[in-house]
């Protein structure tokens, strides 16, 4: 079985393979038989721009960062592209792409990670692994005081926790929406609907309805 490569890549071919696997993964995040979703399709369009530019070492064609760039990595993490991360390799790439909060003075060692705000105005996190059990203890500090301490079972669970720290609360979810804003954009919604209904019926998208990796719900 093919395995998704772990960044950093350092060459064009590996960066291209990662990018194709990410686009394929996004396209397969639906049940077989379901039509391609508009937002899924648009996400593919956006991430399509953030692939490796030709002739380089795998740098993003859009933002010129080493691949995967911040944008592509965020989507790879949130969609749980099955990269065989270790806490160390994940922490390294989160730091390199500035996806961790307060990306300064991180500590990345085999059994110890530290990230977050170094002056603790916002949370600072320390994770330590017990070599005998493989369990991690994650402590949260704020304003000089220990705010939380929890146990995490193993490396995979710690990786999930690290990924959760890359998630931002992006407008408009959870935000207050000023009056008139929705009306300002709703005029485009009808046009989008007509365009998408025509697009979704084109053979190259219609045929993709037979693809999908999600299990049917209960
Ligand atoms: Zn990019």
Structural domain boundaries, residue 133? 101-166
Domain contains 171: no
Q: How far is the CA of 157 from the centre of ligand 1 (A)?
A: 27
Give the total number of structural domains in the chain.
Answer: 2
Check whether residue 75 and residue 113 sit in a common domain.
Answer: no
Least Cα distance to 136 among 163, 118, 157 occurs for 157
- Segment 110-123 shows an average pLDDT of 89
Q: Tell whether 37 and 64 lie within a shared domain.
A: yes
Phi, psi angle pair for 24, to nearest 5°: -65, -40
Question: Is residue 173's pLDDT more than 90?
Answer: yes
Domain boundary among 53, 84, 115: 84
Tokens of 43: 């996400």
5 and 76 in one domain?
A: yes
pLDDT in tens, 71-85: 999 999 999 999 999
Residue at 188 is within a domain: no
Tell me how far the alpha carbon of residue 31 lies from the centroid of ligand 1, in angstroms.
28
**The pair of three-digit structure tokens given for residue 170, joined into one six-digit string:** 């992006």
Q: How many CB atoms are closer than 10 A to CB 68? A: 30
CA of 46 to the centre of ligand 1 (A): 10
* pLDDT number for residue 51: 97
In this model, does residue 187 exceed pLDDT 80?
yes
- Residue 32: pLDDT over 90: yes
Q: What pLDDT, on the 0 to 100 scale, is given for residue 1?
A: 77
Same domain, 24 and 68: yes
Q: What is the pLDDT of residues 200-214, one digit of tens each?
A: 999 999 999 999 999
Of 84, 115, 138, the residue at which a domain comes to its end is 84
Nearest to 76 by CA among 159, 183, 143, 185: 159
- 74 lies in some domain: yes
Q: What is the pLDDT of residues 42-81, one digit of tens each?
A: 999 999 999 999 878 899 999 999 989 999 999 999 999 9
50 CA → ligand 1 middle, Å: 4
The CA 60 to ligand 1 mean position distance, Å, reads 5
**DSSP-derived secondary structure for 61-110:** TTT-PBSS-HHHHHHHHHTT------HHHHHHHHHHTT-STT-SS-EEET
């Amino acid at each position: 079985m093919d395995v998704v490569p772990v960044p950093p890549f350092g060459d064009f071919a590996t960066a291209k393979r990662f990018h194709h696997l990410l686009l394929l993964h996004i396209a397969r995040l639906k049940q077989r038989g379901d039509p391609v979703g508009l937002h899924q399709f648009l996400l593919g369009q956006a991430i399509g721009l953030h692939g490796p530019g030709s002739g380089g070492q795998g740098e993003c064609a859009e933002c010129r960062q080493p691949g995967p760039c911040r944008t592509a990595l965020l989507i790879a993490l949130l969609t749980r592209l099955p990269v065989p991360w270790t806490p160390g390799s994940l922490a390294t790439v989160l730091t390199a792409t500035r996806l961790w909060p307060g990306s300064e003075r991180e500590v990345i060692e085999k059994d110890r990670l530290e990230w977050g705000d170094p002056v603790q105005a916002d949370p600072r996190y320390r994770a330590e692994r017990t070599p005998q059990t493989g369990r991690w203890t994650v402590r949260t500090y704020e304003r000089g005081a220990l705010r939380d301490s929890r146990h995490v079972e193993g490396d995979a669970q710690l990786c999930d926790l690290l990924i959760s720290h890359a998630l931002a609360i992006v407008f408009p979810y959870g935000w207050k929406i000023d009056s008139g804003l929705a009306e300002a954009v709703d005029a485009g919604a009808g046009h989008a609907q007509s365009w998408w209904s025509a697009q979704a019926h084109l053979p190259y998208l219609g045929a993709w309805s037979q693809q999908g990796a999600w299990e049917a719900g209960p």
